[in-house]
Structure 1
Amino acid sequence: MDDLPDARADAVLFDFSGTLFDDTGVLDPAALVATAARHGVELDQAEAADVIRRTLRHVDSPEGFAAREGSDLSPEAHRSVWTALIADAGPYGPELVAALYACLTDPEAWRPYPDTVPVLRALRDAGVRIGVLSNIGWDIRPAFARVGALEPLHTVVLSCEHGIAKPDPALFVLACERLGVSPDRVLYVGDDPVKDGAAVRAGLPVYLLPSERSVHRPRGLAAVLRLVH
């Protein structure tokens, strides 16, 4: 038994949406009412809630998922694809589309799960290197900074800044290089079996979280501490 390799990780890479920060309540009726007003569109809460329901139904449809392919490769592609999807959901005018897109990419609208910040800080205090790797079309660093979770991170690798997106193994390799740790010593934590699970193709062990989630409940990230230690 003494000849078994050390299976502990020296670093952890996390996905962003649905792993560290909740993606189910980003579009909020009250926030949309306020943002729409700044864009010259008057809505009440009931109207805003209906707009959000229609938008999510369209963008999360099979056709919407297909249209989103490649949207995370640059900020320009993200804005172009998502504003077109939002417009088609109504159809909505340009002012309301701009308001919806602003809400979607507002760092204030993205909330961490209850265990996100404690686990990141515990890993930092244990000397574990930490990174975030995300398929995203906008800069998520302000969302981390807002809750005091940016300082523990050693690197943030975003698909829109490199023109590469998961499941391409090259993005995982790049993130490991940024961490300065060999892929076989980096635990990847995500929630998508296809895109996040592809980390194994780059040599990383993977821990996948269940798909059911709520911003009001811990995400199950404490298991990462047990896996690392």
Structure 2
Amino acid sequence: MRAIIFDFFGTLTDPAAELLRRETFTATAEALGVPPERFWTAMSGSFPQRIVGAYGGTRETLLAMARLCGAEPGDDRLDRAVATHHAGAERVRRPRPGVLAVLDHLRALDYRLGLLSDCSSELYEAWPGTVYAPRIDAPVFSWREGLRKPDPRLYATAAARLGVPPAECWFVGDGGSGEHAGALRAGMRPVLVTNAAWPAAAALRSDPDVYLPDHRIDDMDGLLPLLASSPAQTEAR
């Protein structure tokens, strides 16, 4: 097992930060000049389309959402809304406590690290400046690829960009979107991060996976012991 592919939100990011999402959407709505409840409904309802790039980048997406709310913001208002939305997205994607040290340790062990995220435009646009970017060898974003998990082409793309066969990849995620079942079908070894310490954040998931992997950890600090104890990993060493 030479590579590890991570989900992003709730896996590398702090699960508790998900509780900030509605607050950040409210700030964007106010910047756009639209009712926060209508904006929340528009954003939530458009999630499947937004994460495959159907509306374009963040500016185009916010304009489309404003129009769904019955507004036509001018350029200055739209500029402020984009800046507000990006600032809110940065709050929501703050790192899980200790996760950067885990990633650094894995890189020191010569693992190839990938990312497979169902995400909208703001993560893709901000990625090069995030603390995660220098630590991830091959990021794959649904918004950029025009596909969402569990599409097998996404897993194949992630493995190919890492230069590793799928059978030599772990997939680590907190569940949702059929991601673990998709990883298993792709030939990867899935690991569920249960986020047991953050039940309120986990309850926000509207599409929990039905399939539960055999390998489970409560937090990311359990990943290194799991990898070390894996029979395949032990044999490789």
Both structures adopt the same fold (TM-score exceeding 0.5)? yes
Aligned to 2:227: 228
Paired with 1:149 and 1:101, the residues of 2 have a C-alpha distance of 22
Question: Contact 1:105/1:138 (CA < 8 Å) preserved in 2?
Answer: no
Q: Which amino acid aligns with 1:69?
A: P
For 2:51, give the aligned amino acid.
Answer: D
Residue in 2 that maps onto 1:24: 19
Change (3 A) 1:156 1:55: same
Counterpart amino acid of residue 52 in structure 2: L
CA deviation profile, 1:115-136 (whole Å, cap 9, x unmatched):
2211111111111110111112
Larger relative contact order (CA 8 Å, sep ≥ 6): 1
Task: Please tell me whether the aligned partners of residues 188 and 205 of structure 1 are also in contact (alpha carbons under 8 angstroms).
Answer: yes
Tell me if structure 2 keeps the 8 A contact 1:134–1:158: yes
Report the CA distance between 1:83 and its aligned residue. Answer: 5.8
Q: Write the distance in 2 (CA, Å) between the matches of 1:227 and 1:144.
A: 28
Q: 1:11 aligns with which of 3, 17, 22?
A: 3
Post-superposition offset of 1:148 = 3.0
TM-score (norm 1): 0.68
Q: Once the 2 structures are TM-superposed, how far is the Cα of residue 141 of structure 1 from its aligned partner?
A: 5.7
1:200 equivalent to 2:223? Answer: no
- Give the match's secondary structure for 2:10: coil
Retained in 1: the 8 A contact 2:27–2:85?
Answer: no
- State how far apart, in whole Å, the 2-side matches of 1:85 and 1:141 are: 19
The answer (yes or no) to whether the contact 2:174–2:194 under 8 Å persists in 1 is: yes
1:153 to 131, 136, 157: 136
TM-score under structure 2 length normalisation:
0.66
The question of 1:69 aligning with 2:52 is answered no
Percent identical pairs in the alignment equals 25
Amino acid at match of 1:21: T
Residue in 1 that maps onto 2:71: 93
Residue 173 of structure 1 is matched in structure 2 by: 156
Query: In structure 1, which of residues 107, 120, 132 is the aligned counterpart of residue 103 of structure 2?
Result: 120
Map Cα deviations across residues 192-226 of structure 1 (whole Å, 9 max, x no partner): 24431111111111112226638x9xx71112212
SS class of match (1:12): strand
CA offset at residue 24 of structure 1?
2.9
Distance in 2 (CA, whole Å) between partners of 1:26 and 1:75 is: 21
Unaligned segments of structure 2, at least 5 residues: 202-217, 229-237
Code of the residue aligned with 1:93 in structure 2: it is A
Q: Indicate the residue corresponding to 1:45 in structure 2.
A: none
Q: How many equivalent pairs are there?
A: 201
**What residue number does 1:111 align with?**
94
Q: Is the 1:26–1:104 Cα contact (8 Å) retained in structure 2?
A: no
- CA distance 1:175–1:192, change in 2 (3 Å): same
Which range moves more in the overlay, 72-81 or 127-136?
Answer: 72-81
Provide the C-alpha distance between the structure 2 equivalents of 1:81 and 1:113, rounded to a whole number of angstroms.
Answer: 28
The equivalent position to 1:133 in structure 2, one of 101, 113, 116, is: 116
Letter in 2 for 1:25: L
Whether contact under 8 Å (1:115, 1:220) holds in the other structure is: no
The CA RMSD measured in Å over matched residues stands at: 3.8
Q: Normalized per residue, which structure has more helix?
A: 2
